[in-house]
Amino acid sequence: MSESDADLLHETIRQFRWAANYVVLNARNDDGYVETRKGKLNSQTYDNVRSETELHSNLVQAARSRAADALKSVVAKWKRGKNASLPYFSSPFLEYDQRSATFHDDHASLSTVDGRITADYVLPDDERKTPHSEYLFSDDYETTGATLHYRDATDEFYLHVRTKADVDAPEPRENGTVLGVDLGVENIAVTSTGVFWSASEFDHWHREYEKRRASLQQCGSRDAHENMQAVGLKETGRFEQLLHRVSNELVEEADENGCSHIAFEELTDIRDRMPGAKRLHAWAFRRLFSYVEYKAEERGISVQQVNPANTSRRCSSCGFTHEDNRPSQDTFECLKCSYANHADYNAAKNIGYRLLGKQTAGEGGAPVGVRLNTGMMNANGVKAVPTLVRAGVHGECHGL
């Protein structure tokens, strides 16, 4: 990329960031109400942003959408009684879609404030099995958009490309069967069918990369600092591959059990709710949800989030809720009916029930049951034959 092209990207990023922050500043009215609807925000800000910037209309709309999503997250925290400030965009980034960018096998054509520039990809060896070879170079996937980031430490631009399967999505399933999914620190995910995905590999590599960064940080040189950035990229790539594998297996589990819905707990404030969770865990949960969401869509399976309140304290067998039902991180023991099982598995069932109750409260197209397994579950994945438990029926056998 030439120096002039880099300058154009920097200026486009500056104006894009200004546009997103302008939308945020104009989202609150005199009564204190914060607007989050994209259509309304567009009518309030579009003309002024176009007149004050050189951004193409598609980039203006992308900035508005990014601001609206951030505003929705803040409002969701307020509704949960959390303190949060209105978002402010300070990091250098740009959002591209298929109208503002054209993606090729070895380069992308990107809109700027003064026409388009061509940015060549710098990629790993395409003979290796990487997300690039599996998704970017595959004829089975189409590129839907990308986020451009600039990192000052390395003076480099990074294009995070989004893809989806290039197939016609099937009609949504209507059998109304829910697969509940609990997310956690010790187990990345546990389903209501008793399948566990341990976080041990995730945690192992996080510790290894932390050691490498600490060693480089002690050097203090510019080369060491740049190597730290490279270590961060390798870490992200490894974690993304791991999360892709988990998401593939999770969607396969839902498909094999004939589920039409997958239920996750809401991700807002998940780090605050989860003891021992780090920023990395919250990032991993969001990434896993996004992977499952688009992969499940390819099979006609709907993915939704539900209110997680008391899902870890509620007995999935009798419904009794008490904080002492969970005497340890792994153990659930109901004080009322004596039901005992792995705590994450119990929570996964409750998450499935929560979506079931949410849907059956309305009319039409409602899920009819949660896909469960009878028996005692543990992190080694021991489980019995799957069963479908319908609304209001909380039967479970207490032995294998």
| pLDDT at 265 exceeding the cut of 70 | yes
How high is the pLDDT of residue 213? 63
Express each pLDDT in 384-398 by its tens digit: 445 555 443 333 433
pLDDT of 178 over the 70 cut: yes
What are the Cα distances from residue 319, in Å, to 41, 323, 331, 393?
Answer: 42, 13, 17, 11
DSSP string, 289-303: HHHHHHHHHTTT-EE
pLDDT of 133 over the 50 cut: yes
What is the distance between the alpha carbons of residues 182 and 351, in angstroms, rounded to a whole number?
Answer: 7
Give the bridge partners for 111, in sequence order: 116
CA separation for the pair 331, 362 (Å, rounded) = 34
Angle at CA 13, nearest 5°, toward 7 and 16? Answer: 140
CA 379, 380, 384, 387 torsion: positive or negative?
positive
DSSP per-residue string spanning 61-106: HHHHHHHHHHHHHHHHHHHTT---PPP---S-EEEEETTTEEE-SS
User: Position 356: which residue type?
Assistant: L
> 266-313: per-residue pLDDT in tens?
887 788 888 777 777 888 899 899 899 988 988 889 999 998 889 999
Per-residue pLDDT tens digits for 108-123:
899 999 999 898 887 7
Q: Which long-range contacts (CB under 8 A, 24 or more apart) does 133-139 make?
A: 134/244, 135/161, 135/163, 136/105, 136/161, 136/163, 137/105, 139/166
Above 90 in pLDDT, residue 23?
yes
At residue 363, does pLDDT exceed 50? no
Give the per-residue pLDDT at 136.
56
pLDDT, average across residues 43-64 = 93
Q: Quote the pLDDT of residue 338.
A: 92
**Nearest in space to 390 (alpha carbons), one of 345, 347, 360:** 360
How far apart are the C-alpha atoms of 366 and 174, rounded to whole Å?
8
Query: Distance (Å, rounded) from C-alpha 108 to C-alpha 116?
Result: 10
Any idea what DSSP says for residue 168?
P
Band (264; pLDDT cuts 50, 70, 90):
very high
